[in-house]
A and B are shown apart, each in its own frame.
Chain A
Amino acid sequence: MAKTLYDKLWDDHLVAENSDGSALIYIDRQLLHEVTSPQAFEGLKIAGRQPRRLEANLATPDHNVPTTNKEREQGIDGIEDPISLIQVKTLDENCDEFGVTQFNIDDIRQGIVHVVGPEQGYTLPGLTMVCGDSHTATHGAFGAMAFGVGTSEVEHVLATQCLRQKKMKNMLVKVDGKLGYGVTAKDVVLAVIGEIGTAGGNGHAIEFAGTAIESLSMEGRMTICNMAIEAGARVGLVAVDDKTIEYVKGRPFAPQGEHWDLAVKAWNDLHSDADAHFDTVVELKAEDIAPQVTWGTSPEMVKPVTGTIPNPAHEDNPVKKEGIERALEYMDLKADSAISSIPVDKVFIGSCTNSRIEDMREAAEVAKGRKVAASVKLAMVVPGSGLVKEQAEAEGLDKIFVDAGFEWREPGCSMCLAMNADRLESGEHCASTSNRNFEGRQGQGGRTHLVSPAMAAAAAVYGHFTDVRDIEISRLSSTENGGDA
């Protein structure tokens, strides 16, 4: 029978099936960070259990770590918030006690789990992978079944290397055509979420396919899969192709020699069969997608930069109508006004969605030779890992940002969720390359607008949202993160 990529991954990891449709699924690898693991390690200790396979776990602190150079220079002792310090220390202690490999705060390989996994080749095609973080869908860009779990399941995987799961439905999101100049992977995924809604993918694994997805780099595909959860899907997937294999090759944890050849042979089958059945199919034309900006408090509240803010009077569904009214009030925006008229107080370029080297380049191409607008209080660039930071600095991107008036920070999750000191003040509007624009997400009362790195850099320079297609972009190097940009 013809199978989807998700069907193949599911079948390949099936340990046991129960009569009620639930199943025991094998989990190949797990990523751990300081926020959702302490209670899991504590659970193991209380029950007197040990991790089943140590090498199947890799840890790094990311959510809570400070990103200022001043705090980071002093390593773990530089963490000024005493409660954050305890949490990061607890990860150190747990990894030491149980023998889990960790890239600690001083390690150049430290960074956001979803940047570190692929960068190290720890993320591989064909894996099942979990992490106590909903953006684990990111790793699906490699044709891996990767999804976020709660802390109880983190503990479950540590103890058993398995999870009790029910198979999800299959959804295909097909984007065919050629992305326009200045239109990036971020714009594609925001447009998809705008189309199907934040609950559109609930209960589904989404496979992203079509010529526009195929043309994206691996980093672009990671951006897309990362936000599958913002469409409600725990799992996002892209089929394996030559780009996938080329990206993985030679990375520290990637297979080598004889194992490499065996692996590549297996990975070449990681695509949906031609006549595989999908429960839901959504199609978008790449040419119809413009740079996107979210205006509200849910990622589905998104419009092209050329558009206007919706008017609740035109919405028939009472729950949706109330949602729009509430969002407009929270965001302090007027119905029917232009998206480009929204002023920006702060700019955040980073997060597991957009903090990889291509994202840094994309933003730097806009920032180069320009200055952050005087009305912008803070524009910050937070690379996703120590290695991304090192690479960016080798390319001189840090200098471009600093010359333009951006702050160049140390790696971490930072203002995506504002667990550390990087946050919005009440009422501030932020152009952010992160993934969630919920109320209070970036700081209580803060107003988040999700955009691509290029659009965030443009907003920093002009002080309001600006169509990146209308401005001249400095070529730094060849980037493949979007159409021609």
Chain B
Amino acid sequence: MDAFTQHKGLVVPLDRANVDTDAIIPKQFLKSIKRSGFGPNLFDEWRYMDHGEPGVDNSKRPLNPDFVLNFPRYEGASVLLARENFGCGSSREHAPWALEDYGFKAVIAPSYADIFFNNCFKNGILPIVLDNQTMDVLFAEAESQEGYQLSIDLDSQTITRPNGETISFDVEPDRKHCLYNGLDDIGITLQQEASITEYETARKQRAPWLFN
């Protein structure tokens, strides 16, 4: 996993609540057995005018000119603004894989669905939670100012707006540590091997029916 330390990037405002993982990456693309290559099909049903299928050359498909990601001014965006309960629905990690593959490094929203939020941290994407009032300010600025960029610094947990003002955000220390250092979760857990074995031995005594 890539580490996330600092990022400055173009901001795209997706002004919808309850954006679900079916919208982020439709089911037909979940047939892939790989982790990569989902970017061209991110928000597929909103982004294109036709029906997408795996294996189709996406560069030849008709784009939906009304969808915000297709506006020329947002080309190359790497910070996504969203509304409440972003990433609700299924547990598919293909959703953060698609966001990451498209080029998003951070999502900023007032709230997220739990599984999606968790999956972001496993894939080098920083999901930031801000209150609705601040979100309204960011949406208004991103919509009115062409080339609007935000600078995000994970270490100091701050977002810097183009006018120089900063917004602070919270992030759980454990998640921050892993993301900041790009650490392999499994490797960290295996450092607690002795505790796991000790637990297993006790569990086997308490619940022998769970062990063959």
Contact = CB atoms under 8 A, between A and B. Distances in A.
Interface of A: 15-16, 18, 20-22, 24, 26, 28-29, 35-36, 38-39, 42, 47, 49, 52, 55, 63-64, 81, 83-84, 86-87, 90, 124, 126-127, 132-134, 136, 148-153, 155-156, 159-162, 164, 166, 168, 198-199, 202-203, 232, 234, 255, 259-260, 262-263, 266, 298, 319-320, 322-323, 326, 417-419, 436, 438-441, 444
Contacts of B188: 164
A202 B119 CA distance: 15
A353 to B, nearest CB: 13
A438 B84 contact: no
Given A133-B90, A418-B27, A152 B122 contact: yes
B55 interface: yes
B100 interface: no
Contacts of B23: 438-440
Interface string B116-138: 00110011000000000000000
B85 A199 contact: yes
Contacts of B32: 83
A168 B118 CA distance: 13
Interface stretch (B64-72, B150-158, B204-212): B204-212
B70 to A, nearest CB: 18
Nearest to B212: A55
Interface string B15-31: 01110101100111011
Contact of B30 (A35, A153, A439): A35
Nearest to B28: A419
Given A20-B173, A152-B122, A259-B209, A438 B189 contact: no
Interface of B: 16-18, 20, 22-23, 26-28, 30-35, 45, 51, 54-55, 83-85, 88-93, 96, 111-115, 118-119, 122-123, 172-174, 185-186, 188-190, 192, 195-196, 199-200, 203, 206-212
A36 B90 CA distance: 11
Given A86-B31, A90-B33, 7 more contacts: A26-B200, A49-B186, A124-B209, A124-B210, A132-B91, A234-B115, A439-B45
Contacts of A20: 172-174
A39 B199 contact: no
A23 to B, nearest CB: 10
A136 B185 CA distance: 22
B22 A47 contact: no
Contact of B85 (A87, A148, A202): A202
Given A26-B200, A150-B122, A319-B84, A160 B93 contact: no
B207 A263 contact: yes
Nearest to B188: A164
Contact of B192 (A24, A136, A149, A260): A24
15 contacts: A16-B195, A81-B31, A83-B55, A134-B91, A136-B91, A151-B35, A153-B118, A161-B196, A166-B172, A232-B85, A259-B208, A323-B17, A417-B90, A419-B28, A438-B23
A232 B88 contact: yes
Contacts of B20: 298, 436, 438
B121 to A, nearest CB: 9
Contacts of A133: 90-91
Nearest to A136: B91
A390 to B, nearest CB: 27
A383 to B, nearest CB: 21
A153 B89 contact: no
Contact of A436 (B89, B96, B209): B89
Contacts of A52: 196
Contact of B45 (A36, A148, A440): A440
B186 A202 contact: no
A152 B185 contact: yes
Q: Which of B28, B32, B123, B173 has the most CB of A within 10 A?
A: B28
A174 B198 CA distance: 38
9 tightest A-B contacts by CB?
Answer: A255-B209, A150-B93, A38-B33, A152-B122, A148-B91, A259-B209, A150-B119, A199-B85, A20-B173
A263 B206 CA distance: 9
A113 to B, nearest CB: 12
A388 to B, nearest CB: 23
